[in-house]
Chain A
């Protein structure tokens, strides 16, 4: 039987047998839903009644949707706050850890703890620490800095929700990006610094003329990854600002939450997919920038 097959055919079959277990799962559970998602945005459907063609009406409706606009705005504000702060914090940490310091390994491990720790666990601590009336942060603000009781920040309501989310996410993710920066720093040749020292450059000049330019491609990558991950924010908002059943108000809602809400609470699947397309477009644009940038930097 095998005789009929040419050598190349046989080789192909072996190769396919390696790929098949992953590819079949991937095709069924990822590729098909992706195609489905694009189509669904142009239909109206509640998941049980007959599906009807909607054309562009879902997208038109988005332009007048106050809740959608708030979700988009909050996501972007969160992004604008989180990306630079995380970048600066992780770069600073990487530079410090790149020095010859005692206990470097321990510090590196510690800074990874927030990254691997589960969100439910660490957000519940965070909510205790920042508790508006009983938490130690506001307690310090009250007793040490004499902030009047009624002016103590309400960290998880109103305008401060986004600030809390940004602070939390810098804390949680800086360790991860620090490692990427650390790898970048180790790729910079020591000779550059030695030459600069001979020329009498100070620490800041070394950073400005060697470290920063040499890390350009790393920074570019970090910023792209951070931006994409910020667009996808959801659970941080739910855990920090969500009410008892996990619902978000107009001041804390984010894009992914709106996708979830429209689909699984209101059962407007087409409309939810239209919101998902906006998220897709945002990520797509950043990814395209990344592809172009990679060519430039590498």
Chain B
């Protein structure tokens, strides 16, 4: 009995050791980033001894990054794109998904097949013709191009539909008998119930749009249109040894996504798990 207990304790210790090692690996790059962002270029790589917070923290890095590059413009563009894309994605996907999940109509299967058939199609396969088309529409170097590209994904419709299908049909039936229109049912019954799904989709869309690199790289050419990712990359290639400034810019670019993630993470974990498994 005693040895079994010892074994259990040893097991617990092992679990914690593994956990702490993994957590350290996960978090060290972020701690390094924070620490380097308030160091001078001379202190950044200093290892003997390594100091987390330098004696004279160089807070000016956080000030200088706004003047070295048009950071404010980049932030504005990215915030605008992210909010518009997320809003459109949530609205149009949940709208379409309601119809696919709860209404019967002609050509339903054909229309839904169009979504299914493309869900596995990588964007990288058709990004070139898409660009040619957008250029024809005069959308080259316009923020609107990124909105058109990101806002109407098959994934959003798919995910919302799966969620709505788990809501009992009887709820809608009862509301219909009460004389509610379909739009009312969507707005006052379905939407309030779909908070977990909407939160998950918000995180996915927000993170994807905020962090997207290849899309903006193809479309947004002039400096005034660049997003924070493009701007940061541009800064890195111009001032590759200004480590303190690069890190300060990196920290700034992380704050919004981390904030959104931390607020909605409770739902996100459930969402990833369920959409993940149903695929």
Contacts and interface: CB of A to CB of B under 8 A. Distances in A.
B124 A121 contact: no
B237 A221 contact: no
A32 interface: yes
A126 B33 CA distance: 9
A31 B253 contact: no
Interface in B198-241: 203, 207, 210-211, 213-214, 218, 228-229, 232-233, 236-237, 240
Interface stretch (A148-156, A158-166, A180-188): A180-188
A29 interface: yes
Interface string B165-199: 00000000000000000110010000000000000
Size bracket of the B interface: 35 or more
B95 A21 contact: yes
B115 interface: yes
Given A113-B30, A125-B29, A126-B29, A36 B129 contact: yes
Contacts of A126: 29
Interface stretch (A53-61, A62-70, A77-85, A273-281): A273-281
Interface in A73-121: 92-93, 96-97, 99, 101, 107-114, 116-121
B149 A21 contact: no
Contact of A118 (B36, B103, B122, B210): B210
A94 to B, nearest CB: 11
A290 B279 contact: yes
A29 B258 contact: no
B250 A124 contact: yes
Contacts, number: 268
A30 B118 CA distance: 8
B243 A11 contact: no
Nearest to B150: A29
B105 A15 contact: yes
Residue of A15, A232, A245, A263 with highest tally of chain B CB at under 10 A: A15
B32 interface: yes
B247 A26 contact: no
Interface in A232-272: 232, 234-235, 238-239, 244-246, 256, 259-260, 263-264, 269, 272
Range class of the A interface residue count: 35 or more
What 3 A-B pairs come out closest when comparing CB atoms?
A: A183-B273, A25-B152, A121-B250
Contacts of B114: 23, 26-27, 31
A29 B152 contact: yes
Interface string A109-150: 111111011111110111011010011100100000000000
Contacts of B218: 260, 264
A161 to B, nearest CB: 17
Nearest to B33: A125
B120 A182 contact: no
Interface of B: 11, 15-16, 18-19, 22-23, 25-27, 29-30, 32-33, 36, 44-45, 47, 50, 91-93, 95-96, 98-100, 103-106, 108, 111, 114-115, 118, 120-122, 124-133, 148-149, 151-154, 156-157, 182-183, 186, 203, 207, 210-211, 213-214, 218, 228-229, 232-233, 236-237, 240, 243, 246-247, 249-251, 253-254, 257-258, 261-262, 265, 268-269, 272-274, 276-277, 279
Interface string A165-207: 0000001000110011011100000000000000000010000
Nearest to B237: A244
Contact of B126 (A34, A228, A256): A34
Contacts of B274: 183
Contacts of A109: 262, 265
Contacts of B115: 26
Nearest to B135: A47
Most buried by B among A19, A109, A113, A175: A19
Contacts of A221: 276-277, 279
Interface in A22-45: 22-23, 25-34, 36-37, 40
17 contacts: A21-B91, A34-B125, A40-B129, A107-B19, A109-B265, A112-B261, A113-B30, A113-B258, A117-B211, A118-B229, A121-B249, A122-B250, A134-B45, A221-B276, A235-B213, A259-B127, A279-B125
A183 B270 CA distance: 8
Given A107-B23, A180-B272, A276-B124, A260 B210 contact: no
Nearest to A186: B273
B277 A139 contact: no
Given A31-B118, A33-B126, A294-B279, A15 B103 contact: yes
A169 to B, nearest CB: 14
